[in-house]
């Protein structure tokens, strides 16, 4: 057992970290930046996300650290954010057969127990790491039985409906790539997701009006949006 554990630790130490940086735009104008980083561990993955938006009416900073199992299941999340000067913290982790979500904001603390689902992603606003995890879970679960933990108000868990659209084209660091197109609907809000051949997040058209996350070095070629999902 010791030798096997040592082997797992060695494999994790050799696995390259995955990271990406994004621009946050509103109606085509850059208003912030975001990034994520995933590191393999002997038990799964450690991930982190950073978000910064600075514009009239919105001053938003987010820092999230997360532990995931080897199956990308949520095991612990710590979020710290400021929204227009107001501090928000959230901690989410499994507790028996449920998820325990603690949120502190506006001088108040709430504790909410949520139904636990294997394919659940912790989904704060503007977080590219959460969307990257969602894409991974979608592949692993054939786009089915996906859930999103929304850390707003007292918190909730909502089903994620995914629709697949025809592929598009784009360039990444000057090289032509095939771009997969999905639309995720969570609690009635739509997020358009564009991913690359390796399932990496390239762009997201967010539910917030006019906002988009665009991976640095990526350009989506103009094309008409399909009217109906493929297949």
pLDDT for 229: 52
For the chain, the straight-line distance linking the first and the last C-alpha, in angstroms and rounded, comes to: 47
Rounded Cα–Cα distance for residues 78 and 127 (Å) = 13
Contact 150, 186 (CB under 8 A): yes
> What's the number of domains the chain is made of?
1
Residue 24 domain-assigned? yes
Structure tokens at 197: 């051949």
Residue 226 domain-assigned? no
Classify residue 201 as exposed, middle or buried by CB count within 10 Å of its CB (0-12, 13-18, 19+). Answer: buried
Rounded Cα–Cα distance for residues 35 and 84 (Å) = 20
Residue 225 domain-assigned? no
pTM over 0.85: yes
pLDDT for 230: 55
* Spatial CB neighbours of 84, under 8 Å, sequence gap ≥ 6: 58, 59, 60
pLDDT for 222: 72
Residue 78 domain-assigned? yes
Residue 71 domain-assigned? yes
Strand-pair partners of 191: 184
Q: What are the C-alpha distances in Å from 55 to residues 50, 217, 218? A: 17, 23, 23
Q: For residue 145, give the DSSP letter.
A: S
Instruction: Give DSSP secondary structure letters for 52-85.
Output: EEEETTEEEEEEEEEEEETT--EEEEEEEEEETT
Residue 230 domain-assigned? no
pLDDT for 17: 80
Report how many helices (DSSP H) and strands (DSSP E) the chain contains, helices first.
Answer: 2, 16
Residue 227 domain-assigned? no
Domain of residue 168 covers: 2-220
CATH number of the domain within which 116 lies: 2.50.20
Residue 231 domain-assigned? no
Q: What CA dihedral angle connects 52, 157, 41 and 128, to 10 degrees? A: -30
Residue by residue, pLDDT tens for the chain (231 residues) are 434 344 334 333 334 589 999 999 999 999 999 999 999 999 999 999 999 999 999 999 999 999 999 999 999 999 999 999 999 999 999 998 899 999 999 889 999 999 999 999 999 999 999 999 999 999 999 999 999 999 998 999 999 999 999 999 999 999 999 999 999 999 999 999 999 999 999 999 999 889 999 999 999 987 534 444 555
Give buried/exposed letters for 115-153 (b at 16+ CB in 10 A, else e).
ebbebbbbbbbbbbbbbbbbbbbbeebebeebbbbbbee
């Amino acid at each position: 057992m010791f030798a096997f554990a040592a082997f797992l630790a060695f494999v994790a130490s050799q696995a390259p970290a995955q990271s990406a940086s994004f621009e946050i735009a509103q109606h085509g104008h850059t208003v912030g930046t975001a990034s994520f980083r995933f590191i393999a561990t002997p038990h799964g993955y450690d991930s982190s996300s950073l978000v910064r938006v600075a514009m009239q009416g919105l001053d938003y900073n987010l820092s999230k650290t997360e532990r995931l199992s080897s199956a990308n299941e949520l095991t612990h999340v710590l979020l710290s954010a400021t929204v227009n000067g107001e501090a928000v913290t959230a901690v989410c982790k499994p507790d028996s057969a449920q998820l325990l979500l603690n949120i502190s904001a506006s001088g108040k603390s709430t504790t909410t127990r949520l139904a636990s689902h294997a394919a659940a992603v912790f989904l704060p606003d503007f977080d590219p790491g959460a969307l990257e995890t969602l894409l991974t879970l979608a592949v692993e679960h054939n786009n089915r039985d996906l859930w999103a933990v929304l850390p707003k108000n007292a918190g909730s868990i909502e089903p994620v409906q995914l629709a697949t659209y025809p592929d598009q084209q784009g360039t990444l660091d000057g090289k032509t790539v095939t771009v997969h197109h999905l639309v995720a609907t969570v609690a009635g809000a739509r997020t358009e997701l564009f991913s690359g051949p390796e399932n990496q997040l390239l762009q997201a058209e967010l539910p917030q009006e006019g906002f988009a996350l665009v991976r640095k070095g990526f350009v989506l070629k103009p094309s008409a949006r399909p009217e109906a999902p493929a297949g």
